[in-house]
Amino acid sequence: MDIDPVLLARIQFAFTVTFHIIFPSFTIGLSAYIATLGFMWLRTDDERYHRLMRFWTTIFAVSFAMGVVSGIVLSYQFGTNWSRFSLVSGNVIGPLIGYEVLTAFFLEATFLGILLFGFNRVPPWLYVLSAAIVAIGTATSAFWILSANSWMQTPAGHEVRDGIAYPVDWLAVVFNPSFPYRFAHMLNAAYLTTGFVVIAVAARYLLAGKHIEDAKVMMRMGIGLMAVLAPLQLFIGDQHGLNTLKHQPMKVAAMEGHWDDGKPADFHIFAWPDEKAERNWFEVSIPRGSSLILTHSWDGPVPGLKAVPPDQRPPVLNVFFGFRIMLAIGFYMIAAALFGVFLWWRDRLFDTDWYLRILSMTWWSGFVAVIAGWVVTESGRQPWVIFGLLRTADAISPVPAASLLGTLALFVVCYGIVFSMGIYYINRLINKGPQDRVLDDSVGLPNRPLSAAEPAARDAIGRGG
Amino acid sequence: MEWYLPVIWAALIGTAVALYVILDGFDLGVGVLFPFARNEAQRDQMMRSVAPFWDGNETWLVLGGGGLWVAFPAAYAIIMPAMYLPVIVMLLSLVFRGVAFEFRLVSDNKPWWNFAFCFGSVLAAFSQGIILGGLIQGITVADRQFAGGAFDWATPFALLCGVSLVAGYALLGSTWLIMKTEGEVAVRARRQAKMLLLIVLACMAAVSLYTPFAFERIAQRWFSLPNFYFLWPVPVITALLAFGLWRWLGQERDIAPFATTVGLFILGYLGLVISSYPYLVPPSLTIWDTAAVPASQIFMLVGTLVLLPIILAYIVFVYWLFRGKVREGEAYH
């Protein structure tokens, strides 16, 4: 078989990691939202918060399961697909993954059990605390994995002997130069992703005239938070971009579609970068826009791809378009959230149908922005897997192309089934909406008699299909 | 330090893997026994008995794999490519049976996810057995890299290990059901456990007899003197436990069968460790050959020693919280 194993290994990893990131992007924010609802419920004793908490917890359960199982796959793929990478980086970022397991994975997995099944076995405060612990666990997990990823982008605190990286200063490894920016950017992105799903669900209910009271709660909480976080993301993203400019100028050059090095440059709203001809086609630009953004001055010089030979440049097309997709969605989010605040102020938030329709149709915006952003940062790191230290082509396992191709097909088929079913079930749970709790968890508990009303109640809420 | 650290880490990872095998073992085992349930209410009951725990149980697998990477990166970088196909099949199987917990409850098509849960559990257990067998029989290494073929693991011995682990997990699952359920499910589990015990003992005997014959280093380990003086209690205690388990299955004991099965697993595991130590990648690389530098092992060890007791404490708390038996028809959230 003549297919390049490096390419296959990359496609396979890109596929599994893209599939995986969808779920944490959602569950990091959703767990925080569930915990917030829980605290509101404890404080106000308002049944709406409790109902919403239970509702989002069932959706969380489905999403989290998909996140967990697709995450376990990744923790082994470092070795199966990238054994050379594991060997070179193991001493330095292995422990970061180790700490992720110890400080986050066990915490999330164990307390999720209480959140899903413990309602009638623990006092309300412990139930809500479990939700908060799950939320802290998901954010902690993001902390470590983004630290590891950032080290691959901007390695620090290590020394290289015989091609293997060894730790020198752990603080410098964990808090490597791009980590604070990437962590803030991703965590905020996760909250935005969830926020826009919550808003979309609320908009759907308002349009359908169902679950109105619950929808209003979700809408107010969602719009209020998004109006702060969406503009904040623009600021964080800008800072992150400046950090990238300092450490990975070629990534920025690809993001901006700049070929000539060291000159003031325009910002291309659209262009078709041509890697062979080393130029762009069909440019639509804001004059000097790029200089203004990147150097905060009218004629500041910006990096260009021609500064390095072609084999050291990242692939331009995915980086360039990934960046534009992320940016467009970011501006949409800011506009949507701020306009929502305006409607709220005019007391029209719940009955401006066209606005609600747009919101209900753009539930996917955060997911697409997150994936586009990761394409930018990961493709932009190429041709390196550990920037400046190990090339992607030198990082793979001694595994034959046929194995990679076969398992790639398996991944596509299996993930295709699981993902489409997952989306379908989540959509169905959303359509069913928040339910009053007719039945409690006392069914079948050892110390409580099974009452005759319970099977009927179970049918009433449509359990079991 | 250079000598102790890898030993400490080998012990820690060994413990994590043992905990994984026992904990995920019982919930995979419940999946293996899924087709024998008579109706959906019984399947609900079986699944509910493991549902609050499975996610935490599977985290030990991540700790085992992650720990191997942290502490023995060179071994991780050889074992994973060598076991490429079984590892990927195991992971995909875990995907299906993992999502089945949630999907089954919200789906119209329960039979499909019942099948996914069972098939995924069986295939994951089988793949894990193959990985274990593949490791015991040895990996071809040249220049500290995997140098064998994609199907090197596919030997009759590895297949035997695969079957053994499916049967072993099923035994764990059945004794778990005896302990954690009531009614028909528990009665049937008691019947199944007896049959499974015989199969597991046959498998253990086959592996114990085959490995010293086939691998000189394993025969040396067990039958050379003075090793034999120290090691003879292992098979003897195993036999005693098996005998006890058989008797307790006959009496109306609920907890003893599970506890004894855990004992059997630990002894079987100990036997394999005795056979292979100190090789992490038999027959060529030891734990010292593949260890990470002390700086990495210490950095991780400090955190592990602090965090592991806390983790164990809250895991015990959750098992305690969900104590007691699960009834037929008990479902979910």
Residue type, B91: L
Rounded to a whole number of angstroms, the distance between the first and last alpha carbons of chain B is: 49
Q: What is the pLDDT of residue B333?
A: 53
Q: Where are the alpha helices (DSSP H) in A103-211?
A: 106-117, 124-153, 170-174, 179-208
Residue A178: helix, strand or coil by DSSP? coil
Q: Of B48, B99, B107, which is closest to A69 when you measure between CB atoms?
A: B99
Decide if B330 is inside a domain: no
Residue A457, pLDDT > 80, answer no
User: Which residues does residue B279 pair with via DSSP β-bridges, in sequence order?
Assistant: B286
Q: How far is B217 from chain A (nearest CA, A)?
A: 27
Number of cross-chain residue pairs from A and B with Cβ atoms under 8 Å apart = 254
Which CATH number is B86's domain given?
1.20.1630
Contact between chains at B304 and A445 (C-beta distance less than 8 A): no
Q: Of B58, B85, B322, which is closest to A117 when you measure between CB atoms?
A: B322
Residue B199 lies in domain:
4-321
Q: How confident is the model at residue B330 (pLDDT cuts 50, 70, 90)?
A: confident
Q: Of B59, B71, B296, which is closest to A101 when you measure between CB atoms?
A: B59
Q: How confident is the model at residue A153 (pLDDT cuts 50, 70, 90)?
A: very high
Q: Of B40, B103, B149, which is closest to A425 when you measure between CB atoms?
A: B103
Residue of B nearest to A424 (CA): B107
CA A178 – CA A146 distance, rounded (Å): 10
Q: Of A76, A111, A112, which is closest to B80 when you measure between CB atoms?
A: A76
Residue B79, pLDDT > 80, answer yes
Contact between chains at B52 and A57 (C-beta distance less than 8 A): no
Contact between chains at B98 and A445 (C-beta distance less than 8 A): no
Contact between chains at A65 and B304 (C-beta distance less than 8 A): no
Contact between chains at B96 and A83 (C-beta distance less than 8 A): no
Decide if A8 is inside a domain: no
CA B268 – CA B275 distance, rounded (Å): 11
| Strand-pair category, B145-146 with B285-286 | unpaired
User: Which residues does residue B285 pair with via DSSP β-bridges, in sequence order?
Assistant: B281
Decide if A43 is inside a domain: yes
CB atoms < 10 A from the CB of B205, how many? 12
- Among the residue ranges A268-282, A345-359, A360-374, the one predicted with the least confidence is A268-282
Contact between chains at A99 and B88 (C-beta distance less than 8 A): no
Per residue in B22-49, pLDDT (tens digit) is: 999 999 999 999 999 999 999 999 999 9
What token pair was written down for A347?
Answer: 């007391």
CA A73 – CA B134 distance, rounded (Å): 20
Residue A94 lies in domain:
19-252+306-460
Residue B83, pLDDT > 70, answer yes
Contact between chains at A69 and B63 (C-beta distance less than 8 A): no
Decide if B332 is inside a domain: no
Contact between chains at B63 and A101 (C-beta distance less than 8 A): yes
Q: How confident is the model at residue A2 (pLDDT cuts 50, 70, 90)?
A: low
Q: What is the pLDDT of residue A437?
A: 65
Sign of CA dihedral A52, A53, A58, A59: positive
Chain B partners within 8 Å of A65 (Cβ): 55, 98-99, 101-103
Q: Of A73, A106, A464, which is closest to B56 when you measure between CB atoms?
A: A106
Write b or e for each residue in A85-110: b if 16 or more Cβ atoms lie within 10 A of its Cβ, otherwise e: bbbbbbbbbbbbbbbbbbbbbbbbbb
Q: Of B73, B83, B103, which is closest to A91 when you measure between CB atoms?
A: B73
Q: Work out the percent of chain A whose per-residue pLDDT is above 90.
A: 68
pTM of the entire structure? Answer: 0.89
Residue A14, pLDDT > 60, answer yes
CA B230 – CA B316 distance, rounded (Å): 33
Decide: residue B161, CB within 10 A, 0-12 exposed, 13-18 middle, 19+ buried.
buried
Decide if B125 is inside a domain: yes
Per residue in A198-213, pLDDT (tens digit) is: 999 999 999 999 999 9
Helix (H) or strand (E) holding B44: helix B40-50
DSSP state of A284: E
Verify cis geometry, omega within 30 degrees of 0, for the bond prior to B226: yes
Residue A446, pLDDT > 50, answer no
Per residue in B67-78, pLDDT (tens digit) is: 888 889 889 989
For B269, residues 6+ apart whose C-beta sits below 8 A from its C-beta are B18, B21
Per residue in B90-148, pLDDT (tens digit) is: 999 999 999 999 899 888 888 999 999 999 999 999 999 999 999 999 899 988 888 88
Residue type, B62: V
CA A98 – CA A96 distance, rounded (Å): 5
What's the domain count of chain B?
A: 1
DSSP state of A104: I
Residue of A nearest to B141 (CA): A398
Residue A107, pLDDT > 70, answer yes
Decide if A34 is inside a domain: yes
Residue A443, pLDDT > 50, answer no
Residue B311: helix, strand or coil by DSSP? helix
Q: How far is A172 from chain B (nearest CA, A)?
A: 14
Contact between chains at B53 and A113 (C-beta distance less than 8 A): yes
CB atoms < 10 A from the CB of A169, how many? 12
For A426, residues 6+ apart whose C-beta sits below 8 A from its C-beta are A59, A62, A63
Decide if B328 is inside a domain: no
Q: How far is B121 from chain A (nearest CA, A)?
A: 13
| Strand-pair category, A267-274 with B279-281 | unpaired
Decide if A152 is inside a domain: yes
Q: How many CA atoms lie within 13 A of B298 on its CB side?
A: 11
In whole numbers, what is the pLDDT of chain B averaged over residues?
90
A177 to A156, A243, A384, B66, B253: CA distances (angstroms): 8, 8, 17, 25, 60
Q: Work out the percent of chain B whose per-residue pLDDT is above 90.
A: 59
Sign of CA dihedral A100, A102, A104, A105: positive
Higher-confidence residue of A228 and B254: namely A228
A455 to A160, A458, A464, B109, B330: CA distances (angstroms): 65, 5, 11, 21, 10
Q: What is the pLDDT of residue A451?
A: 37
Q: How many CA atoms lie within 13 A of A413 on its CB side?
A: 9
- Among the residue ranges A295-299, A381-385, B202-206, the one predicted with the least confidence is A295-299
Contact between chains at A117 and B67 (C-beta distance less than 8 A): no
For A83, residues 6+ apart whose C-beta sits below 8 A from its C-beta are A396, A397, A398, B76, B77, B78, B80, B81, B145, B146
Q: How far is B76 from chain A (nearest CA, A)?
A: 6
What's the domain count of chain A?
A: 1
Contact between chains at B84 and A399 (C-beta distance less than 8 A): yes
Decide if A404 is inside a domain: yes
CA A98 – CA A91 distance, rounded (Å): 11
Per residue in A407-440, pLDDT (tens digit) is: 999 999 999 999 899 999 999 999 998 987 655 4
What token pair was written down for A436?
Answer: 């009053």
CB B98 within 8 A of CB B104: no
Q: What is the pLDDT of residue A458?
A: 44
Chain A partners within 8 Å of B51 (Cβ): 113, 116-117
Q: What is the pLDDT of residue A296?
A: 85
